[in-house]
Amino acid sequence: MRKIYLVIFILWAYGNSFAQNLYSVTGKTLDENQATLPFVTLMVLQAKDSSIVKAGYSDADGIFKLDGISPGHYLLKTTFMGYEDSFLSFTLDNADLHLGTAVLNPASTSLVEVTVTATKPLFKVEVDRIVVNVENSALAAGKNTLEVLALSPGLQVSPDESSIRFKGKGNVLIMLDGRQTYMSQPDAIRYLKSLSSSEIESIELISNPPAKYDATGVGGIINIKTIKGRTMGTRGSINAGYRRGDYDQWNTGLGLGTKTRAVSMNNYFNYSDGFTARFLDSENQYFDAGVKTMALDMKTHTKFRNQNFMFRNSFNWDISKKWAVGSNLVFSKVYYDERKTGRTDTAGGPGAISLIHQVSDQRTDARTFTANGYFKALLNGSNHELTRDVDYSAFKRDIVADIRNTLFNKEESAGNQYFINTTPSTTDIIAGRLDYIKSLKSGVFEVGAKFSNVKGKNDARFEEKIGDQWVTDPGRTFNFQYNENITASYVSYAFEHKKTA
C-alpha cells in the first residue's frame, strides 16, 4: 500500500510545474500598402483590464511569434514610430493561434506646432543580442524583475516560478551588470523577485553566448543592467506599490546615490510581501503493456506567501582615464510559505485506498550574500582592455515541509499519514577571472582565464510518524557534501563578414 502513497506524494509535490498549458500566437506585420513592416513592437494585453501578458517584436520579414500565453481573451497591440497604434482582439483556446496579418496605418499629420520628445524603443535588436529597455516603460510598472522577464520576448517563466527558459532552453546564465551572479537558478529566481523593476535600466538577451562565458550559459544569457547615477551630486528615490487580486501584494523601495567626477556609489533597499494562489485540476493515467493499471484525479489549491528583503551597493572609482576599481555587494533574504490542500481520487493500483485528502505546509528561508571586486585598465589607448574580477558568494537555504494524508476506503476513513521533510543546505563559492580584449581593424581578439572553488552541503531528513514516534526514512534521508575546483581558459576572435556583390 505504501507504493501508491509515494506515487501520489511525488505527483502532488511536483505536478504543479506543468499544470498550466501555454501556447503561442503568430502572424505578420504589414503597412497600409500590404508591404512588410519589420521590427514592430507587439504587446498581448488582457482584454478585461489591458494588463500586459507578453511583449515582443516582429523580425526583419515582419514575422512574429509570442510564446508562453495561457488560454483566454486578449488584445494584440502593435506600435511603430510614425504609425498609429493598432489593436486586434482574439481568443486563445487550447492550441497555438495564427492571427494572419496585423496592418498599421501612418499617423495623421497636420501643420501645427509640436513638441518632440526622445524616447528609447522598447526593443533594440543588435547583432548578438536583444536589448529590452525597461526603464520608464510599460513593462516596469509596479513589477519585480522576474515578472518583467516573463513578459520579455523568447523568455518563459514556469507557472510555479521555479525555472526560466530562453527560446526553449533551460540552461540559462543570469548576470547582473555584466558579471556572473554564481547563483543556482532557484536562488537567482528568488533574488529577481526581490529586485524591483524600478531599479532596472535594461535587460540584454543573448541567445549565442561568446566563448568567455561558462558552459552553464549555453542555453543563453540574461544580463540585467541596473540604473546608475548619470548626473553629478547626491540623489535619492522612494517607490511603493500595491496590487489587489485574490490577495494583497505590496512593495517598497529606497535608493540613495552620489556621483563625483571620479567616484560613484549607489545603495538600494527593497522590501516586498504578498500572497498569491494557484489551482490545479489534473488527471493522470498509467499503463502497462497498453493496459490501464491506475488512474489519479487530483484537485489542489495552493496559497503562497512570498516575503523578500534585498540590499544592494555598488561602488566605482575612476583612478584616472585609464584605470578604475570597484565593488558590488548584494544581500537578500527570502521567506517563502507554500500551503497546499487537495484531494486525489484513485482507481486501480495496489491496495484498496480510493480517496486521499492532502494538506501540506512548506516553509523556505533563503539567505544570499555576494561580493565582487574588480579592476579595469585601458592599455595603449582604448583598443586594449584588461579586467580582473574576484567574487565571493554564500548561499544558505532551510526548507521544512509538513505533510498530512488522510486515507479513505470507499468514503470510510482508513487512517492518516504524517511526514516531515527538512532540507538545510549551504553553498560557498570563490571565483576569479582575468580577461584581455584587443580591438583590431578586422575584428576583436579576446583571451582569458578563470578559476572557481565551490563547496556545498545538503543535509536532507525525511521522517514519518508511526504511532507516537517519528521514524527516519533512510531511503529519503541523506547527507551530501560537494567540493569542486575548476580552472579554465578561452581564446576567441570575432569579425563581421561583409557580403560582396
Q: Are residues 271 and 321 in the same domain?
A: yes
Mean pLDDT, to the nearest integer, of 466-477?
89
Q: Flag whether 499 is in a domain.
A: no
Mean pLDDT across 60-80: 90
Regarding whether 68 and 129 lie in a shared domain, the answer is no
Which stretches of 170-209 are assigned E, i.e. beta strand? 173-176, 179-180, 200-206
Same domain assignment for residues 96 and 213: no
Angle CA 393–398–399, to nearest 5: 135
How far apart are alpha carbons 150 and 165 in whole angstroms?
10
pLDDT of residue 492: 86
- Predicted confidence at residue 14, as pLDDT, reads 42
Q: How far apart are CA 377 and CA 381, in angstroms?
A: 10
| 444-466 and 263-288 strand pairing | unpaired
**Mean residue pLDDT across the chain:** 83
Is residue 280 located within the same domain as residue 332? yes
pTM of this structure: 0.72
Low-confidence winner among 24-28, 207-211, 373-377 (lowest mean pLDDT): 207-211
Asked, for residue 67, whether it belongs to a domain, the answer is yes
Would you say 79 and 58 are in contact if contact means Cβ atoms under 8 Å apart? no
- Is pLDDT of 47 > 50? yes
Same structural domain for residues 322 and 212?
A: yes
178 and 71: one domain? Answer: no
- The confidence score (pLDDT) of residue 142 equals 72
Predicted confidence (pLDDT) per residue in 214-256, tens digit: 655 567 889 999 887 667 888 888 888 887 777 888 888 898 9
Are 188 and 366 in contact, with CB atoms under 8 Å apart?
no
The Cα–Cα gap between 31 and 82 comes to 11
419 domain residue, yes or no: yes
Highest mean pLDDT among 64-78, 106-120, 140-154: 64-78
Report the number of secondary-structure helices (H) and strands (E) in the chain.
3, 26
Task: Specify whether 58 is located in the same domain as 165.
Answer: no
Beta strands in 172-290 (DSSP E): 173-176, 179-180, 200-206, 221-226, 233-244, 248-259, 263-288
Whether 94 and 131 map to the same domain: the answer is no
501 occurs within a structural domain: no
Parallel, antiparallel or unpaired: strands 173-176 and 221-226? parallel
Q: Lowest mean pLDDT: which of 90-104, 177-191, 368-382, 445-459?
A: 177-191
The answer on 189 and 322 residing in a single domain is yes
CATH number, domain at 41?
A: 2.60.40.10
Domain termination residue (choose one: 87, 108, 129): 108
Model pLDDT for residues 277-319, shown as the tens digit of each residue: 888 887 888 788 888 777 778 888 889 898 999 999 999 999 9
Which residue, of 64, 89, 108, is where some domain finishes?
108
Query: What is the side-by-side strand order in the sheet with 123-125?
Result: 123-125, 130-133, 200-206, 221-226, 173-176, 179-180
* In a shared domain, residues 283 and 388: yes
pLDDT recorded at residue 431: 93
Domain count, the chain: 2
Nearest C-alpha neighbor of 23 from the set 88, 89, 90? 90
Of 108, 141, 156, the one marking the end of a domain is 108
439 belongs to a structural domain: yes
Burial of 124 (C-beta count, 10 Å sphere; 0-12/13-18/19+): middle
Same domain membership, residue 271 and residue 148:
yes
Determine the structural domain holding residue 409 and report its residue range. 2-20+117-494
Asked if residue 122 belongs to a domain, the reply is yes
Residue ranges in 221-324 assigned as alpha helix (H): none
500 belongs to a structural domain: no
Does a structural domain hold residue 354? yes
Is there a single domain that holds both residue 439 and residue 473? Answer: yes
Tell me: pLDDT of 79 over 60. Answer: yes
